[in-house]
Chain A
Amino acid sequence: MPERYHDLRQVKGYQTHIDVDNGVVESTGTSFFDETVIRALGPKGWGVVILDSFDPDAGNMEHAIEEASALALMTQEEITLAPVEYGGLPVPPLTEDPVNVDIEEKIHLLLAVEKAAKRAEVKNTRATYMERNEEVRFLDLSGNDEHYQVTRCGFSVMAVAARGDVMQMARESHHTIRGFNLRHQSEQGDKAGCLAVALLDAVPARGGRQRVVLDPELGGVFAHEAVGHASEGDLIKEGNSVLQGRIGEKIGNATLTIVDDPTLPEFGFEPVDAEGARVHRTEIIRNGNVHAYLHSRETAAAVGYGTPGHARAMSGDIPQVRMSNTFIEEGDASFEEILAECRDGVLLIGSRGGQVDPGKGVFLFNAEYGYLIKGGECADMLRDVSLSGEILSTLHTIYLIGSERKMHQGYCGKGGQSVPVSDGAPYLLLQDAVVGGSESE
């Protein structure tokens, strides 16, 4: 039963977590994983076998490929694979390898971050630490045999404030691939505590169309949700994206460039993609025009306009076209100019997540808090405010782009898989956006 192609991706390693809650070490532990995905491309589509604790060198590889090939006979989609450049990037060195830090010291440092969030009116504090070490091996029919090891770690701290019946929460976090990051982080706890208390006096937003300023974190989520997902080659191939067939079309102003770049040493870094392809920077939007899509080998062959290198997979799962480090390039406006140009509107800060329907072209994301802008200056604090819009019309409303970009880390879910990503942007001014809030006009 000849397969046209096969590959294997094995991810093994450990994950350590610490959870402290109001000064108590609620749980800590280390878990071990070893998951292997074997794909075979049959006469039409893919057959895949996913196994735990599989040793590709122990003589079972042929059985697995045979089983995957047999499964491939169930498929009818005629898949071809685009050629790729192989070769991985070096993984950026760790400033301090977390494996060399005792669990007791990690707990001590995490408790210090959590303690810094405590103050009057803060009723509960909680902090978590996560450390994940992955050894990845990729083999394919062409004889490629890639190995790399990457360690991701990070923490989050949350404060809950209450006054009477009003309760609010705030959260700060930082995750990285550059090494142990729990030292000297008390100010993150302090920030979460201050913000939770301040939110007790915040007011709900007024719903409706308004001018909106996005901070770099939320601007990054905007790039990710509104543009990044819609540029994913699998959605383009399925006809489930409003960016399908729009290469070369102007959908934003000439200063707007949106990029996905897995080569950056940020949280979404990949030394090589999940199909063994060399990773590279892709400009999705260049100077306001749709320029390229993100691709796997399958979608690059089917759709074009871009090259493979954007396939990613959670351990024990199949490759999907995914973003990595997604951002809006810097413009030249200062924050003060952006506020002054906005005059009256809302400034939205921080992200509580977002979601997009790429086929309909509608996105939504939620800010952690915000401020009313009155006469070009920040006024009342706002809580529970979100922003939605249509991708194609909203990009045209980006009127000013700030000059300083910051990246923030998170996890992105798609098709049941969650992968580490980072997003970023400078401050952005949107001339006309739909803000969700429960207050009447």
Chain B
Amino acid sequence: MRWWVVVNPSDRILRYGEKRIEEVEVFSVGGTALSVHLKGRVIDNAIITRTWGMGIRTFEKGKIGFSSTSDPGRWKECLEAAIASGKVATPQEWGGLPERRELPSRASTSDPAVSPEPDIVLPLVEGMLQGAEAYPEVRITGGEVDLFKGEVDIENSRGVEYQAPRTRVSLSLETIKGDSTGYEFDTSTFLDVHPSAIGNKAAFLAAHGALGGGIQTGDHEIILSPMASAQLIGQVVIPALSGRNVHAGRSRLAKLRGKQCMDLGISLYDNPFARGLGSTDWDAEGVPARRIDFINNGVLQQFAYDLKTAYRYHEESTASAVRSGFGGSPSIGAHNLILEGERSDIFEERALYVHDIVGAHTANPLSGDFSVELANAYWMEGDEPGEAVRQAMYAGNVFDMLRSIVGMGKESRVVGSLILPPLRIPAQRIIGA
């Protein structure tokens, strides 16, 4: 017998809300997660999380209100709080919430094989540990496996009533040898992760880094891993593509529409139907999702808009509204931001491979300037890992860095809302310790 159950009150909220105000929207997220955490090679804790929550937006004469709650029994209080907050908002042009449409199901958002069950979690843990055994001298310090199964719903007073099942599998392993650390992870909608490869890579990074040496300060040719470049691009480029930041004077890309801003062979686009973590048929406001070509063959084409920003600046929503959960208003973001271009073997010639960086969140999101610490960096020559670099900083500018890409590796990787290949970039400033 289930002893914990949630009844989604969306219908009652819409019916009640329509009598009070012009439009109402209810966005809810619920589900169950099973997480296990490793301390060393053994499981330290096992956690079941059952969550449900909803965010209510209200719309009256261009004034938008918001409130959220995790208690379905408090829906009326939450709705009243949203209406009250709308009363003090600055009114803006508002053309209405989207109407219901029949949407073909193009995005894969769940995998029936994923369920928060011990008999799925434990083999994943075991797989990571086995993968790490290739480096017996490396010690495992921690790790985590999470399985989530749930549903996202959006309903509004114009008839939108979309539901999408969601699943997620996350694995990570942390390792150490001496004072050389390693970390590897993977997150997927599907049970297509490779725990052994994750364990092997985490252990390799710690083992290889233990043999590290120094590096001369200067301009070096580097290869940025998807993990490293995703952190910088996520911190700087995604905000710069936001229509809100463009119109507010907070984007360095604002004046570059129609101009070349990357190599002519490189494109950057958001594909919500691609196999990624942000796959969806509709955005966080119920607008039908679509592909957005931000940079096409090096030339900046367009920016990202949600409904609010689009109405305000007489643009069209690009279905770019995203939410990090039920507890916040939607904001402009990316679903599956993909960097694409001609692929080649970028590892053939000598370059410094940067697997990870420390401090990407300190990059200046406006100017794109950054200086970060390298983590798990080593020389690559002829596809073989060479000498590791123990400690060095990397300073530059994200926009300049992207303009300087001379090669893209053959395999892309999903890192959060980005899907990127390794990038080869010449003349990057590395500061040796």
Using a CB–CB distance below 8 Å, which chain A residues touch chain B?
21-22, 24-35, 45-54, 60, 63, 67, 71-72, 74-77, 79, 103-104, 107, 123-124, 126, 160, 162, 165-169, 204-205, 207-209, 237-240, 242, 316, 318, 352-357, 359-366, 383-386, 388-390, 434-438, 440-441
Q: Is B387 an interface residue (CB 8 A)?
A: no
Listed in ascending order, the chain B residues whose CB lies under 8 Å from chain A are 3-4, 6, 36, 39-40, 42-53, 55, 64-74, 77-78, 81-82, 84-85, 88-90, 92, 118, 121-122, 139, 141-142, 174, 176, 179-181, 209, 217, 248-250, 252, 327, 329, 358-359, 361-362, 364-367, 369-373, 375, 391, 393-397, 429, 431, 433
Query: How far is the CB of A55 from the nearest CB of chain B, in Å?
Result: 10
- Please determine whether B48 and A49 come into contact, CB atoms closer than 8 angstroms: yes
B179 touches A74 (CB 8 A): no
Chain B residue contacts of A352, Cβ below 8 A: 362, 364
Smallest beta-carbon distance B253→chain A, Å: 11
Q: Which 7 A-B pairs have the closest CB atoms?
A: A436-B371, A366-B362, A29-B66, A123-B249, A46-B45, A52-B70, A384-B369
* Assembly CA distance A11 to B36 (angstroms): 23
Indicate if the CB atoms of A33 and B371 lie closer than 8 Å. Answer: no
How far does the Cβ of B78 sit from chain A's closest Cβ, in whole Å?
6
Are A384 and B367 closer than 8 Å at their CB atoms?
A: yes
Q: Beyond A25-B90, A29-B81, A353-B361: 17 further Cβ-contacts under 8 Å? A: A21-B248, A32-B70, A32-B71, A32-B77, A51-B4, A52-B70, A53-B72, A60-B3, A103-B85, A168-B366, A169-B250, A355-B362, A360-B180, A360-B209, A363-B358, A436-B394, A438-B371
| Max count, chain A CB within 10 A of own CB: residue among B52, B89, B365 | B89
| Contact B358–A438 (Cβ < 8 Å) | no
- Residues of chain A contacted by B70 (CB below 8 angstroms): 32-35, 52-53
How many Å lie between the Cα of A22 and that of B367 in the bound state? 20
Q: Are B68 and A32 in contact (CB under 8 A)?
A: yes
B51 to A: closest C-beta gap in Å = 6
Question: A67 vs B32: C-alpha distance in the bound complex, in angstroms?
Answer: 14
Q: Which residues of A contact B370 (CB under 8 A)?
A: 384
Task: Tell which of A28, A32, A72 touches B78, judged by Cβ atoms closer than 8 Å.
Answer: A32
Q: Looking at A28, A107, A165, A209, which has the most chain B CB atoms within 10 Å of its CB?
A: A28
Task: Find the B residue at minimum CB distance from A384.
Answer: B369
Bound complex: CA of A22 vs CA of B179, how far in Å? 48
Whether A77 and B39, one on each chain, are in contact in the complex, defined by CB atoms closer than 8 angstroms, is: yes
Q: Are B52 and A48 in contact (CB under 8 A)?
A: no
Q: How many A-B residue contacts, CB cutoff 8 Å? A: 273
Residues B369 and A204 in contact, CB atoms below 8 Å apart: yes
When C-beta atoms are compared, the residue in chain A nearest to B121 turns out to be A74
A53-B71, A208-B431 known; A353 and B359 CB under 8 Å? Answer: yes
Q: What are 18 A-B contacts with C-beta separation under 8 Å?
A: A29-B68, A30-B81, A31-B55, A32-B77, A47-B45, A49-B48, A67-B48, A71-B47, A160-B248, A207-B395, A237-B39, A238-B174, A355-B358, A384-B370, A386-B359, A386-B393, A436-B373, A438-B369
Contacts of A107 in B (CB 8 A): 88
Contact of B396 among A242, A434, A438 (CB under 8 A): A438
Known contacts A386-B362, A434-B431; A28/B375 CB under 8 A: no
What B residues does A50 contact at CB under 8 A? 47-51
Which residues in A have their C-beta under 8 angstroms from that of B118?
74
Chain B residues in 8 Å Cβ range of A205: 371
Residues of chain B within 8 A (CB-CB) of A237 are 39
| Residues of B close to A208: CB separation below 8 A | 217, 431
Say how far B425's CB is from chain A's closest CB, in angstroms: 14
C-alpha gap A316/B70 in the complex (Å): 11
Q: How far is the CA of A53 from the CA of B364 in the complex (A)?
A: 39
Q: Is the CB of A71 within 8 A of B46?
A: yes
Q: Is the CB of A239 within 8 A of B372?
A: no
User: Are B373 and A362 in contact, with the CB atoms below 8 A?
Assistant: yes
Q: Which of A160, A209, A242 interacts with B250 by CB under 8 Å?
A: A160
* A238 CB contacts on chain B under 8 angstroms: 39-40, 141-142, 174
